[in-house]
Structure 1
Amino acid sequence: MAIHFHEGDLPDGVDLGSIVAIDSETMGLNPHRDRLCVVQLSSGDGDAHLVRFRKATYNAPNLRKLLTDKNVLKLFHFARFDVAVMKKYLGVDTAPVYCTKIASKLVRTYTDRHGLKDLVRELAGIELDKQQQSSDWGADDITDAQQKYAASDVLYLHACKEKLDMMLAREGRTELAATAFAFLPTRAALDLAGFEPVDIFSH
């Protein structure tokens, strides 16, 4: 595994292919309060690119271009949060999107464990180390342990997607998943507009 660390944006010329796994690290789980600190990306080749943002510096034209490229599928786990964070701090509507958490909930109905650690363990046979999950991502220096943790969150999403796609097809839920994925930018916009705890489809 190689980790490529970048300040402020992806460098020119980085090609992450037609399906890129993406995750983010923030100061917390409230996009309005907790700033975006790191975006990690992988093409599924065993390498990861980490883009670190210092406070209030979110230009990142190359990353923005990737997030909005209609020919590149953006692969997340819990895309609802990440897409909202990208919209809040980078000012873009990320699309098209695939979410392994949604896919998992649609086909792994035999369990209520849909976190990334459980999913990667079952579908990729890898045990993730989550010790750095609650560390300070806004610090001046990102440690080697933090970098390895951030990279691990995107390195196995392609393998999980492959298994989940087979399960979705087997259970006849591929189209249902696709429509759920397509709704994610709208769901993220609703969250940012203050409707996060509200089910607008309820009576």
Structure 2
Amino acid sequence: MRTTLFARGAPARSPAVIHLHRHDLPDGLDLGPIVAIDTETMGLNPHRDRLCLVQLSAGDGDAHLVQIVPTAMGGRGADCPNLKRLLQDPAVTKLFHFARFDCAALHLHLGVTVAPVVCTKVASKLVRTFTDRHGLKDLLKELLGVEISKQQQSSDWGAPDLSAEQMAYAASDVLHLHALWARLEGLLAREGRLELARDCFRFLPARGALDLLGYADPDILSH
């Protein structure tokens, strides 16, 4: 299934094409060396709330959405060999916003350790210390002049058929991450914190695993 998306505030260009895939990425799809990734779940508790959708973009303006349909609904559950292969590929950098949650959800539901990763939320917190606005919506507006809607954030991602509005929302979370990381990477380099950011990124898969084991609260890294 394909649909198109126009992003408000984005530079003039051809509209994005959104590809919806059920169960897995198609064979032979090459998304390049840096892939923007996000997830949609039924809620914020990975142990309770199932993984419903994984969004990916190569940074080319198009988005690929992998809908994971459970076997009880006629799907294949977490049988996603192509997606799993990409998530674990050491030659592909996975670009997230709030990788801590996404890495944990992907580890639990797909059984993979996602690496290497970059997180734009961590990057923003390291270098934009003059503000507490580190959400994706705020970052895209302030750094790229792109406005996205969060209206579908709390919608039913477990529905067997996603609406056009849901797909547009899901795609918007990955379509601009490459450009956002380019801006943040430049700021980190300017402030001498790029290597520190890379060290933080390397720890994020382990941070997600700690969360799954119940070490989010109390946090073993706190006093």
Q: What is the rounded CA distance, in whole Å, between the counterparts of 1:164 and 1:7 in structure 2?
A: 33
Using the TM superposition, give the Cα deviation of residue 201 of structure 1 relative to its aligned residue in structure 2, in angstroms: 2.4
Q: How many aligned residue pairs are there?
A: 203
Cα separation, 2, equivalents of 1:65 and 1:124? 31
Return 152-161 or 119-128, whichever deviates more: 119-128
Match for residue 210 of structure 2 among 175, 190, 195: 190
Tell me how far apart the structure 1 counterparts of residues 37 and 204 of structure 2 sit (CA, whole Å). Answer: 15
**Structure 1 residue 7 corresponds to structure 2 residue 22:** yes
Instruction: Give the 3-state SS of the residue equivalent to 1:25 in structure 2.
Output: strand
Distance 1:129 1:201 in 2: 34
Residue 41 of structure 2 is aligned to residue 26 of structure 1: yes
Equivalents in 1 of 2:70, 2:109: separation in Å?
11
Aligned counterpart in structure 2 of residue 54 of structure 1, from 51, 66, 69 = 69
**What SS is found at the alignment partner of 1:161?**
helix
Equivalences for 1:49-128 in 2 at 5 Å? 49-55=64-70, 57-128=77-148
- 8 Å Cα contact 1:70/1:95 also seen in 2: yes
Q: Which residue, out of 143, 146, 170, partners 2:190?
A: 170
The separation in 2 between residues aligned to 1:202 and 1:89, in whole angstroms, is: 28
Unaligned segments of structure 2, at least 5 residues: 1-15, 72-76
Q: Distance in 2 between matches of 1:66 and 1:122?
A: 31
Structure 1 residues 122-180: Cα deviation after superposition (integer angstroms, max 9, x where no partner):
12210011100000000111000000000000000000000000000011001110010
Report if aligned partners of 1:24, 1:40 keep a CA contact under 8 Å in 2: yes
Taking structure 1 as the reference length, the TM-score comes to: 0.98
Partner residue in 1 for 2:5: none
Q: Does 1:136 align with 2:151?
A: no
Q: What TM-score comes out, normalization by structure 2 length?
A: 0.90
Runs of 4+ in 1 over 4 A off after TM superposition: none
CA–CA separation in structure 2 for the residues paired with 1:140 and 1:28: 16
**TM superposition shift of 1:31:** 0.2
The Cα offsets for residues 26-67 of structure 1, whole Å up to 9 and x where unpaired, read as 000000000000000000110000000112500100000000
Identical counterparts, % of pairs: 66
Matched, 1:40 2:55: yes
> Which residue number corresponds to residue 154 of structure 1?
174
How large is the RMSD of aligned CA atoms in angstroms? 0.7
CA distance in 2: counterparts of 1:19 and 1:171, whole angstroms:
23
3-state DSSP of counterpart to 2:214:
helix
> Structure 1, unaligned stretches of length 5 or more?
none
